[in-house]
């Protein structure tokens, strides 16, 4: 069973690393959806039911957000509040261990980041999610997922640099050259 669980972690690694380099929000969200499906399977195989239920809710949220994104719409603040409330309540009612709080925080941050239209906020939010997920994976024994999240964290930081920091610096330099 452990081989299957860790093997799924390798698939998670590929999905996580590639997600950050998509320029369209719906592709990013599709990767997160696949990621949460695999993660839910891993958690149920490990009998971590708080994490499993949060992943199931995250899958529903991912589908809803993906549909909104495909229609070029932003979910209302009401949708955001409903999902965050569901994550908090499900964590409270299914509480198993103290480290379940890490996935709850990660999911709340990811929900808010996915709700945004700004890809910088989306990428930065999921970089923060990676930090909480690494902590959760350490305690749940998802060792390949730890590696995947470190690579995700690196990919997220690189994509922020490439698409936001470097691009903004290059644009400012280009515009200052035009003025002079």
**Structure token pair of residue 37:** 């499906």
Contact 34, 15 (CB under 8 A): yes
- 86 lies in some domain: yes
Question: What does the alpha-carbon distance between residue 107 and residue 36 come to, in Å, rounded to a whole number?
Answer: 10
Residue 177, classified by CB atoms within 10 Å of its CB into exposed (0-12), middle (13-18) or buried (19+), is: exposed
pLDDT band at 175 (very low <50, low <70, confident <90, very high): low
- 178 lies in some domain: no
- 179 lies in some domain: no
pLDDT in tens, 103-124: 899 999 999 999 988 889 988 9
- 64 lies in some domain: yes
pLDDT in tens, 37-66: 998 999 899 898 988 999 999 999 999 999
Which residue carries 């997920």 as its tokens?
A: 133
Handedness of CA 39, 18, 25, 160 (dihedral sign): positive
- 180 lies in some domain: no
Number of domains the chain is built from? 1
**Closest by alpha carbon to 134, among 160, 95, 105, 157?**
105
Q: Which domain does 118 fall in, by range?
A: 2-173
**Structure token pair of residue 95:** 């509480």
> Does 171 have pLDDT greater than 80?
no
- 153 lies in some domain: yes
Q: Tell me what the mean pLDDT of segment 143-164 comes to.
A: 88
DSSP, residue by residue, 97-163: STTHHHHHHHHHHHHHHHH-S-HHHHHHHHHHHHHHHHHHHHHHT-HHHHHHHHHHHHHHHHHHIII
């Amino acid at each position: 069973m452990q081989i299957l669980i860790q093997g799924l972690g390798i698939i998670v690694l590929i999905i996580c690393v590639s997600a950050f380099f998509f320029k369209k929000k719906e592709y990013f969200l599709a990767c997160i959806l696949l990621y949460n499906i695999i993660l839910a399977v891993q958690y149920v195989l490990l009998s971590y039911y708080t994490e499993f239920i949060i992943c199931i809710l995250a899958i529903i949220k991912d589908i809803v957000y993906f549909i909104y994104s495909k229609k070029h719409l932003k979910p209302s603040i009401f949708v955001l509040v409903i999902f965050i409330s569901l994550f908090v309540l499900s964590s409270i009612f299914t509480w198993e261990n103290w480290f379940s709080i890490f996935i709850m925080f990660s999911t709340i941050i990811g929900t808010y980041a996915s709700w945004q239209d700004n890809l910088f906020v989306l990428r930065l939010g999921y970089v923060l999610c990676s930090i909480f997920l690494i902590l959760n994976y350490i305690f749940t024994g998802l060792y390949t997922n730890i590696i995947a999240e470190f690579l995700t964290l690196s990919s997220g930081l690189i994509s922020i640099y490439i698409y936001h920091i470097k691009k903004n610096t290059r644009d400012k330099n280009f515009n200052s050259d035009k003025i002079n």
